[in-house]
Amino acid sequence: MKTKVAKKKPALSKAKADYQHLFDLSKHIHVLQGISSILSWDQETHMPQGGAEIRGLQLKTLAGLIHKERTSKAFGAALQKLIDLKTGKTPQKGLTTSQNAALREWRRDYIHDTAIPQKFVEEFAQLTSQSLLVWRHAKNENAFDLFAPYLERIVDMCRRKADYLGYNDHPYDALLNMYEPDMTTRQVSTLFSALLKGLKPLLKKIASSKQVDDRFLFGTWDTDKQIAFSHRLLAAMGYDMDKGRLDFSSHPFSSASHPTDSRITTRIHPTSLMSNISVILHEAGHALYEMGLPQDLYGSPLGESRSLGVHESQSRWWETRIGLTKPFWSYFLPFLKETFKGKLDGISLHDFYRAINKVEPSYIRVEADELTYPLHVILRFELEKALIEGSLSIHEVPEAWNAKMTEYLGITPSTNREGCLQDIHWSMGGIGYFPTYTLGNIFAAHLFEAFAGKHPDWETRIASGEYLFIKSWLHENIYQYGRHYSSHELLKKATGKPFSADAYTYYLKKKYTEIYTK
């Protein structure tokens, strides 16, 4: 008996020591990634223009160091000791369920990172850096032909990338999984078809209804007052200014180098009241997720956000599910009126609520309203999938784009600049990314049902200025888990049921039918 115990103990502590060693290697990589985040944040917010070139070299140097460490033999060997890289089996005993979950994610990342040859990575980086410039020029000139040969090469390399990464069913699976692990093209198609089916008749009904007047949201809105109001929103949400800050950039973003340093930026439009408000709620939704990740697990996958779709669910949650509701504005409209004294006199809560939820099909995705936004995403997903499987050729893109716009939104772009050249993503090689925008909304809607079930009085509470219980619920159900569970498991755990597009479609239908027919 004694011998047995003596034998077992070292085995246990070996697993722990091996785990700690792997954790240390991984933490070093995360620290470098955090440094890179700060440099990127500075680049968009404060860096003097002239510093662009050296900043490029600094970021490239860091990217090189990070890639080297992530794919190093030392890292692979440390990982292989704890989890079989081929089978995913964990040979050592004595680790917790969480630690085994972390190993699963580390293995996933390592396989992903080492699947693509270094030469391919460099070639792809070179192509996309050229494509970005060409796309900018092509968009300015409204000349798809200029961009087409680059898009052709990008699609071709993305197909090769999919081959390197591997997939069971569809090459697009591999690309999608870079941003949304454990989600298949087939699943996304099913979700999006259901959504489309629900939205098309609703949009038709709205088009023939009495239109909403939102003119009072435009005009002149003092910048300082917009900023002051932003801080009021951030405070209500529980965004901790000791661990974050608000700056300005031409494209708003959130950037976290650690749960204790999670920053956001906004862009102030002096002629549009809601632009900055939406951005603040959206970016702070992202930032709260990062702030809520477990600090003691920083450096391991358990200290990282789950996926782009889950991240987007957090931003859209605050931007739409909270920020576009009547009880929210029942509390905040008086403060808004107080901030912009005299500017909103005579605007009722009802008027305001309808105005901020105005539906109007438009060409540009990033300016789309809540209801038409997913249609933009579905269109792009369908084109990407067709490009990758080869059922659509590059020169057919503009026409296919316009046909889908006409079919889904009832409007047809008159230029490619307003059509297939509008987004930056393809030029950056980000095929597979778009679906996560709408997955975020689907996840958020699914989660929101569980939240409302747990807090049936949520509307009364937010109408009276109580907001922190929202962050608590998200912390308990999302933030604290990092990458412990897959998205599917995470949502199932939070809600008790497998997710579908139903909650999202139901919510949109109910909300917009009410606005436009009552």
Residues catalogued as catalytic: 283
Span near a copy of itself by CB under 8 A; candidates 6-14, 239-247, 434-442, 472-480: 239-247
DSSP string, 393-411: -GGGHHHHHHHHHHHHHS-
Work out the end-to-end distance of the chain between its first and last CA atoms, rounded to an integer number of angstroms. 78
Stretches 135-143, 234-242, 342-350, 504-512: which one binds a copy of itself (CB under 8 A)? 234-242
Q: Cβ of residue 54: shortest distance to a copy of itself, in angstroms? A: 4
> DSSP labels for 429-473?
T-TT-THHHHHHHHHHHHHHHHHHHH-TTHHHHHHTT--HHHHHH
* Among 171, 181, 238, 244, contact with a copy of itself (rule: CB under 8 A): 244
Tokens of 344: 């909103």
- 239/437 with CB nearer a copy of itself: 239
Which residues inside 282-311 make contact with a copy of itself, applying CB under 8 A? 298
Separation of alpha carbons 356 and 508, rounded Å: 15
Residue 34 as a binder of a copy of itself (CB under 8 A): the answer is yes
- The nearest distance, CB 401 to a copy of itself, in angstroms, is 39
| Closest listed residue to residue 192, CA positions, set 363, 362, 380 | 380
70 binds a copy of itself per the rule CB under 8 A: no
CA angle centred on 75, ends 69 and 76, rounded to 5°: 125
Stretch that binds a copy of itself, among 205-213, 256-264, 271-279, 463-471 (CB under 8 A): 256-264
Would you count residue 424 as binding a copy of itself (CB under 8 A)?
no
Which residues are CB-neighbours of 20 under 8 A, at least 6 positions away?
Answer: none
The angle subtended at Cα 488 by Cα 484 and Cα 494, nearest 5°, is: 75
Residue 134 binds to a copy of itself (criterion: CB under 8 A): no
> Exposed, middle or buried, 177 (CB in 10 Å: 0-12/13-18/19+)?
buried
Which of 127-135, 137-145, 254-262, 301-309 is the region at the interface with a copy of itself (rule: CB under 8 A)?
Answer: 254-262
- Quick one: which of 16, 39, 104, 466 contacts a copy of itself (CB under 8 A)? 39
Q: What is the 3-state secondary structure (H, E, C) of 153-168?
A: HHHHHHHHHHHHHCCC
The set of residues, in sequence order, having a beta carbon less than 8 Å from that of 104 and lying 6+ positions away, is 83, 88
Q: Are 229 and 336 in contact (CB under 8 A)?
A: yes
Rule CB under 8 A: is residue 487 a binding residue for a copy of itself? no
Tell me whether residue 60 or residue 267 sits nearer to a copy of itself (CB atom).
Answer: 60
Query: Taking the complex as a whole, how short is the minimal distance between the CB of residue 118 and a copy of itself, in angstroms?
Result: 18
63 contributes a contact to a copy of itself by CB under 8 A: no
Q: How far is the CB of 47 from a copy of itself (least distance, A)?
A: 7
Question: Which tokens is 304 given?
Answer: 């990282």
Using CB under 8 A as the binding rule, whether residue 54 contacts a copy of itself is answered as yes
Q: For a copy of itself, what does the binding mask look like between residues 261 and 280, x meaning CB under 8 A?
A: x-x-----------------
- CB closer to a copy of itself, 66 vs 236: 66
When binding is defined by CB under 8 A, the residue of 81, 170, 225, 245 that contacts a copy of itself is: 245
C-alpha distances (whole Å) from 514 to each of 122, 194, 206, 209 are 52, 21, 10, 12
Window 11 to 30, contacts with a copy of itself (CB under 8 A): 28
Whole-number minimum distance, CB 113 to a copy of itself, in Å? Answer: 20
Residue 208 CA to residue 210 CA, distance in Å, equals 7
Question: Which two tokens mark 391?
Answer: 């059922």
Task: Check binding of 50 to a copy of itself (CB under 8 A).
Answer: yes
Give the nearest distance from C-beta 340 to a copy of itself in angstroms.
23
Toward a copy of itself, which CB reaches closer, 239 or 408?
A: 239
Candidates 32-40, 171-179, 390-398, 456-464: pick the segment binding a copy of itself (CB under 8 A): 32-40
Residue 346 forms beta bridges with which residues? Answer: none
Residue closer to a copy of itself, measured from CB, 68 or 395: 68
Buried b (16+ CB within 10 A) or exposed e, 256-288: bbbbebbbbbbebeeeebbbbbbbbbbbbbbbb
Answer for which of 9, 17, 24, 51 binds a copy of itself (CB under 8 A) is: 51
Which range touches a copy of itself (CB under 8 A), out of 44-52, 92-100, 207-215, 505-513? 44-52
Task: Give 453's contacts (C-beta < 8 A, 6+ positions apart).
Answer: none
* Spatial distance between the Cα atoms of 425 and 408, rounded to a whole number of angstroms: 21
Contact region with a copy of itself (CB under 8 A), list: 56-64, 125-133, 187-195, 317-325: 56-64
| Distance from C-alpha of 375 to C-alpha of 360, rounded to nearest angstrom | 12
Residue 35 interacting with a copy of itself (CB under 8 A)? yes
> Contacting a copy of itself (CB under 8 A), which of 16, 47, 142, 513?
47
Cβ pair 197, 506 in contact under 8 A: no
Crossing angle, helix 97-115 and helix 73-80, to 10 degrees? 140
Size of the site for a copy of itself (CB under 8 A): 35
Residue 257 near a copy of itself by CB under 8 A: yes
Q: How far is the CB of 44 from a copy of itself (least distance, A)?
A: 13
Residue from the set 61, 118, 129, 517 that interacts with a copy of itself by CB under 8 A: 61
- How many other C-beta atoms can be found within 10 angstroms of the C-beta atom of residue 423? 18
Is position 358 an interface residue for a copy of itself (rule: CB under 8 A)?
A: no
Interacting residues toward a copy of itself by CB under 8 A: 28, 31-32, 34-35, 38-39, 42, 46-51, 53-55, 57-58, 61-62, 65, 240-245, 247, 257-258, 260-261, 263, 298
